[in-house]
Chains A and B, each alone.
Chain A
């Protein structure tokens, strides 16, 4: 998966939203004024202003008691419409899923990815369509059956009707999601292969049982068998003391750390760095002063850039805000690219170097063979040493006292040691691993992604159902979901002109004339008109569509769980939350005014 460790740019996003929202309100106001002037003459603007006033009064005077009462009504309605039957399908799927998903020969970490994908996919595919149909059908059906008459005759505002619907459907959806999420979690945990569960148990076991303690280091020994694990406080004194007092226990500590890091049901908390490159000549900038990048080895997926082995080329990872600890756990998932067979049976060699650019001190860590598509874990002690050529002696340095520069930065360079081989890396490929969170944390966060997506779909559905009938609202919302989910990238390419083949008319022309997308079009007037029309449709109309349709990719958090990572707040949860809230405000306004204008007696 391609992770985006960059934090979400909140301020520009809010400003963009404010601009879009302002433009939208301005357009709506202009149209309303114009229509009103045409229909009512001079009184028109006054009518519009009174509408705005009443709208503001309505929205500001919302009673949450009444909203909740309407929400309860919606919940009862949903239950009556057998929305909970979705549990039957869900249970059937989960009862038999392992028959088709289990593969005893597949690597456990790879297998876990399939399990997690299955759980989240099933929940998404079951919950969202049900909720979408319910939410789109709710209001129009009430209008058709005239049951809304009994509601609107009560002292209840239209804005409360809209909010009540949204809240009611969200509550139903939340209940379904919580139950499914819980069952899904238990199912995933149960499916993890026994061997890895045992590892978990070992590590877990050690944490709760101990019969000997060395200043915060807990050990458990059982007869003549190997001690089952150890938990050590992250304190240098304790570790050094442990190493001196009991080398066997120290080995055990190392083993426990290793087991811990290889745990499949993990929720890693990474600290990412910024990545810069040094080329084979050791330069960080080219002749024009531009920063050099890595090398492309020709893969279509340009996620990783490569550095050449046995040259001065390096990937320079700079970590910020690093807090002092006794041991730093570094994890990487680099990729090798071979230009010759090399040493068969041995993976490409990689080496870390801790560099302090201010003092010029460079500490080389032991080289290691990379394991691809899985984690390479390296731990470094706080006390490090390097051989100084000038002084001809080994010099000891402290990782945090001597190697930190600019107050809080640590630079770790990565280089490939094999001549003719390349090492591929991306920013998200290398990170400091902080103590893991429990697996259920990342699982819950990813489930909250589905929840926010569900809420957004409910908001759009209810808004749609305020001004169109049920089937049309379903079509409208489904179209937005499908476009927002599957075609956003394509749309962006079309708008930016990256997509070959031109706009809709040019594409049709090429299809009909069997012309491929690399051939130039003839330079005729009709082609000019065709291009102008395409430009209008793609650049202007599609641009608007692109900015109206929500980006549903923000809600996809399951890959984090599948890859064993915690779902980050700033680059994943926050954008999802912002998108949901950003749509809620205009949708509420549209829904409210649509319902005010709608003739509720009509069928």
Chain B
């Protein structure tokens, strides 16, 4: 039995509380303008872990986390289960609301933002049949990840994810033709009055150009924090690749004018001057990819790194192959050449005229295009072994064959691009199928 009175016991408890509070105060004292604060505040400062240094502060989220104390994990677990159940039973509105609740409790978990952003843009959108509905969910995912990047400014992954959604999902999915149109003119006319959704495209640009800006932001963030998505050389190439995508999309849309040529020119500059000059760490030491002089230039780099020239050349070649550096360099260079623009335009027009049933005009334009294309391939030899260039050339030959057949004529002994066609005979059966699909043969 304690011999202390109740009052004495209470005083002892109070004293113990005060004593225990002293180290807590010392550890947790907040920083002020004059004082660095307690050890925890200093550590927070050192590792940039304060709410404000991570990104925008969401007062609701911070309050909820504070109020829940140690129950945050339980609540989060419950919400994740609920979200999953709602997804299974296709309660999309409720699922979206639950996602918001989850993110309020886990505002600085990178993978949580990435998972939900992807889920909305890729999984939920695919569940809808209407293309405009699908686009709506793609936007939802992109906007969600954008918010994530605002709240966590240091993570390069989130910027990259936004770029990836706006670039790849909008530009290359099955619905790309619609999505790209919607990106400039949102299907929700009542809300956006025939313009784009300003949350994702405030300046009414092409989706690949907006994606490029997000990839650039990802690269800026990557300067300070390592990303964990892919090899660094690949990750850093995305702004330039987005420019390639933009230029290619213009061509797919049938635009073979100065705008497209300039787009390729910008792509070439971005690839060789910006990306090509970035240094990447390799076992042979740091190197950049825009090395054209394999003697003196590479020698100088090898000397600087203290490696042999062969070792250096090996790593240069390996890194270049990973990002397909030489191909894209040549491709961009050739595409910014007026001769290539002319070849593409003529081949495209030849196909268009064929589909319109103007066979004689189509044949003339096609042959002219093939001749020009042959000159392009002579000028840029690397293109002779690149898939896209080969396909374009072989398709042109196949179209000529079809034209001749329709006219009841034989393919002449000599015709442009014959060398390319002969060189890649092994690809013809596969491309035949593709050709039939394209022309509903």
Contact = CB atoms under 8 A, between A and B. Distances in A.
Contacts of B133: 372-373
Given A1-B91, A344-B175, A100 B128 contact: no
Interface stretch (B6-14, B93-101, B162-170, B255-263): B93-101
A303 B89 contact: yes
B131 interface: yes
A347 B89 contact: no
Given A100-B60, A105-B199, A344-B175, A117 B97 contact: yes
B190 A195 contact: yes
Contacts of B96: 106, 110
Contacts of A261: none
Contacts of A105: 191, 197, 199
Contacts of A275: none
A107 B135 CA distance: 13
Contacts of B88: 299-301
Interface in A111-134: 111, 113-114, 117
Interface string A339-357: 0010011011000000000
Contacts of A110: 92-93, 96
A446 interface: no
A452 interface: no
A417 interface: no
A71 interface: no
B387 interface: no
Contact of A301 (B90, B97, B131, B136): B90
A172 interface: no
Interface string B167-179: 0000000110110
A533 interface: no
Contact of B130 (A1, A300, A301, A372): A372
B129 interface: yes
A403 interface: no
Interface residues on B, range: 20 to 34
A114 B93 CA distance: 7
Given A370-B129, A371-B130, A113 B94 contact: yes
Nearest to A117: B94
Contacts of B177: 344
A301 B128 contact: no
B129 A336 contact: yes
Contacts of B93: 106-107, 110-111, 113-114
B131 to A, nearest CB: 5
Nearest to A334: B129
Contacts of B136: 107
A336 B127 CA distance: 9
Nearest to B143: A105
A93 B207 CA distance: 40
A111 B191 CA distance: 15
Nearest to B186: A105
Interface residues of A, number: 30
A372 B128 contact: yes
Interface of B is mostly: helix
A338 interface: yes
A342 B401 CA distance: 29
B353 to A, nearest CB: 25
A201 interface: no
A429 to B, nearest CB: 12
A2 interface: yes
A299 B90 CA distance: 11
A370 B129 CA distance: 8
B94 A301 contact: no
Interface in A95-154: 100-101, 104-107, 110-111, 113-114, 117
Contacts of A195: 190
Interface in B51-99: 60, 88-94, 96-97
A372 B94 contact: no
Nearest to A1: B91
A344 B97 CA distance: 30
Nearest to A101: B97
Nearest to B175: A344
Contacts of B199: 105
Contacts of A117: 94, 97
Contacts of B174: 341, 344
A345 B94 contact: no
Interface string A299-328: 111010000000000000000000000000
B128 A373 contact: yes
Interface in B177-202: 177-178, 190-191, 197, 199
Nearest to A421: B129
B217 to A, nearest CB: 23
Interface string B129-157: 11101001000000000000000000000
Give the interface centre of B91, B96, B197, B199 by most chain A CB atoms within 10 Å.
B91
16 contacts: A1-B89, A2-B89, A105-B197, A110-B92, A110-B96, A113-B93, A117-B97, A195-B190, A301-B89, A344-B131, A347-B129, A347-B130, A371-B130, A373-B92, A373-B128, A373-B133
CB-CB nearest 5 A-B residue pairs: A110-B93, A336-B129, A113-B93, A114-B97, A347-B129
